[in-house]
Structure 1
């Protein structure tokens, strides 16, 4: 059964009314925020130099990109950890201007207000030449691309983006995920090297190696051995402070733990890009795995940990600051975060590999989609130089440009060691003014805080995921990683509205009930009723849409 005509008519009316309300509200709230009104953004964009392509100054290859200087203006997201230094003053873009003959003016918009301001700019037509680090969702790429607001990049990428094109040829799933349901590409992504496994894992399940040694235990290889370790921690003063204040497991929210362990029950077989639907290995068909008996067993195991006091009772409410304070007191026996040494100076932690489950399953399912932000960069119809803009952005997907983007300039911000490794210079790693690494980097680069367009590879990315402990965790996971990792699907406008409404309601209900099953406020005797509720919410239509999107993805 497909989506009913009555539902779609209602949904269309809701969407139109919501758009009008959001547009009116945005007009009243946006004026002057961040120092830029929508009108300023529009005027800045229209002030670009004459079309480089039309006047014949574009160079198809090499540097500079244009023979005559041109200017572009980007709507640009800014993370809180990225400092306040204007991007124009950072080494990476000063160097790029000299190389390319293109000056970029960055309109910085803090992430906490980014979605509202981006939506308002698109709705009102007050946007500049491109959206950079602006987290444009796939649904908006499809909508505004079809309307002509975002420039169709299919041919432009083939002609002027050799670096990104080469990546799409090497990794066909990247092209699949960038291609919208209408068959066109409208953006350039954040792309993690699929071989950079620690980056795709992101946040391993860490345990204390020295505590294992004190307990005379080997590193857990199975779910049961992990449970035994947690039990032993609870009754042993491992930090030596005279109190049993050790916390067997703690984190921020319960879902990271679920996602780390579910592979031990053979679910989540397509990775973190598909948190509700995977492929059943027994028949190779789509399944809504969150209502399966195997997934029920995952929740029952975690409920057991919670009931026995092996999970921090603050798990559902604490933030990362609270978690890291506990870690700095050497109280965490196991936890999930990017890396304990960088987050709270936690020493002697090792990342676990895929744990074997009760039925013999051993799958490392906690793998992120390599294409993290499909809409990291999108060119608009205001842009008089789309070819030059594509060339400018594509430079950062190649090795030379990626080194500049992530490391800065050799001799000023980084140096090359005798074995060819790139390392930040000492005034950045051990800043004399006491600045953190991120703070010291704000004079040189702009990637801190994420969401940037570009190609992340261990050769030139020096975050916590490239530390030896993270590399070691990746090597442990490698033998059991997902064979067929799916990137995110793209939906038509009609499918998107279903997922935004009925689909979102289903997701919310599921998360709320799972938390209740784990903390004991809901009994597993209610499981069958819970499954029926999900089915009655529209599961059949949900799976019809998912199958259509999967078929389209596989056919791209």
Structure 2
């Protein structure tokens, strides 16, 4: 992500402000919410291992993807217990039942000392933080998390995105390294063989793009004498709309706050789905759909159906990860960033490096919050990141003389027929993507780390937003969140429904004004005002 970096002085001021604001919440920031003890009294080592001299047990709740992975016996946690002297007693649930179980624990006052991989929303972090259930982490970060603190200092967007309106930080996030550009952005994938066979170049404009898709549909690029090619294969319309946002000058702060950006004319918050440029975008996609250039069941098609077509090599364009990783189809390359009707040529369909910020939370029941902050901080260090994603040298990964790592053959070509995620999941817990931590290209070997994905990101990079223009998801005050809760779901559901209706022709563009009027009745002006306040806080 080609973004300018800010100096440490700004971050130092920001951290100081958040720490002071944390002190003003009625609890001592030094106490970490009233539970922290002096490190010497708790026999906690300030650095190095073990973290504590005397073994401690901590109760924790977490979500996981693999039902067969027993976190109380999985090697990652057993080895880390030996290293840290901290035994975590895990209570885990599948992600499908996470929200229900998590809420029951909190409602029944039966919650643990630590929530891990529990994906709390920003509104929940503030709600339970204000109630004193989640303890402020500001001072604990300052004293016991040198690795995480260094990340905040290097990338101020992290600290700004974590800090609630009351000045406190209540959760630690998943962070996607801003230098790992292919995990943050990349255009859809086009089948180069079909371009070559039809004598086509990469499209540069919307007209080029239309003509390419039309040729894929009509000129039999797979040479089987049948019109079975799917020009654009995808589940849902969001992929193509997002790809084209920057070509219509929309989302000039990225997509973390998907429906708002800055109006270039007024400098105020703009509600994108009511903007004339957004209407133009939908009209173009409607043309593609009407002319059969998109998957015709794109609104209702199941992923398994698209996957089946992908594995047969029938997709001209795929808006997922490199098809070699999911369809075993080689030869796809990243699409170009297209120039739109008003001269815009931007790739804005990506968010900030800050993932879910509620992935690590300490509650007011935590007996050793300092120790647990050190426990978590290790996984923001290179050594901890390598362990978390790769495991153990010469057992689960190999390393060459230049420090490049890769999984062993037993992981990549598992003799028991396990795919990579399943094989890794026998030892580690990252497959599925639910975890706090720091995703670095050097240690992450998923599809986004493939050389083709890296090349795709390089192609898009000249057209992506500068780093200091990208917004993380905004944080709202309790009053703002209360108002948003009553209007946001209805507005955003309506926007998505009407997007699909306009694209498929089930709603005429002649009714655009009625659509905008309906949004106003649903409270979109207040929605915009709340986002305006949040954006002004963020700018400060």
Does TM, scored on the shorter chain, surpass 0.5?
A: yes
Q: How does 1:344-383 map to 2 (within 5 A)?
A: 344-383=327-366
Q: Is the 8 A contact 1:53 1:385 kept in 2?
A: no
Residues 476-523 of structure 1: per-residue CA shift (max 9 Å, x gap): 111111121100111122211222221211111111111111111111
Q: Who is 1:389 aligned against?
A: 372
Asked if 2 retains the 8 angstrom alpha-carbon contact of 1:373 and 1:451, the reply is no
Structure 1 gaps, min length 5: 1-49
1:531 is displaced (CA, Å) by: 1.1
TM-score (normalised: structure 2): 0.91
Q: Which residue is equivalent to 2:489? A: 504
For residues 82-114 of structure 1, give each alpha carbon's deviation from its aligned partner in whole angstroms, at most 9, with x where no partner exists: 351212322221221111111112211111110
TM-score (norm 1): 0.88
Query: Within 1, Cα distance between the matches of 2:533 and 2:37?
Result: 41
Q: Which of 433, 454, 465 is residue 450 of structure 1 equivalent to?
A: 433
Give the distance between the partners of 1:73 and 1:424, measured in 2 at CA: 32
Shift of 1:444: 1.7
Deviation of residue 285 (structure 1)?
A: 2.5
Deviation string for 1:165-194 (max 9, x for gaps)?
111111111101110111100111001011
Match in the other structure for 1:97: 81
Q: Contact 2:67 / 2:94 at 8 angstroms: preserved in 1?
A: no
Matched, 1:67 2:53: yes
- Equivalence map 1:219-258=2 (5 Å): 219-258=202-241
Residue 148 of structure 1 is matched in structure 2 by: 132
Q: Once superposed, what is the RMSD of the aligned Cα atoms?
A: 1.5
Q: Does the 8 Å contact 1:75/1:131 carry over to 2? A: yes
User: C-alpha separation between the residues in 2 aligned to 1:56 and 1:312?
Assistant: 61
Equivalence for 1:299: 282
> Contact 2:233 / 2:294 at 8 angstroms: preserved in 1?
yes
State the match for 1:189 in structure 2: 173
Work out which of the residue numbers 190, 196, 199 in structure 1 matches 2:183.
199
**In structure 2, which of residues 45, 57, 63 is the aligned counterpart of residue 77 of structure 1?**
63
1:262–1:268: 8 Å Cα contact kept in structure 2? yes
Q: Residues 415 and 59 of structure 1: is their aligned pair in 2 closer, same or farther, counting only changes over 3 Å? A: same
Q: What residue number does 2:42 align with? A: 56
SS across alignment from 1:242? coil
Partners of 2:188 and 2:292 in 1: how far apart?
18
Retained in 1: the 8 A contact 2:39–2:46?
Answer: no
Match of 1:34 in 2: none
Contact 2:190 2:317 in 1 (8 A): yes
Q: Give SS of 2:58's match.
A: strand
- Measure how far apart 1:246 and its partner are: 0.3
| Displacement after TM superposition at 1:51 (Å) | 8.1
Q: 1:494 — aligned with what?
A: 479
The total of aligned residue pairs comes to: 503
What is the correspondence of 1:284-295 to structure 2 with a 5 Å cutoff?
284-295=267-278
Deviation for aligned residue 1:214: 0.3
Taking the TM superposition and a 5 Å limit, the aligned residue runs for 1:123-202 are 123-201=107-185
Whether the 8 Å CA contact 2:187–2:337 is kept in 1: the answer is no
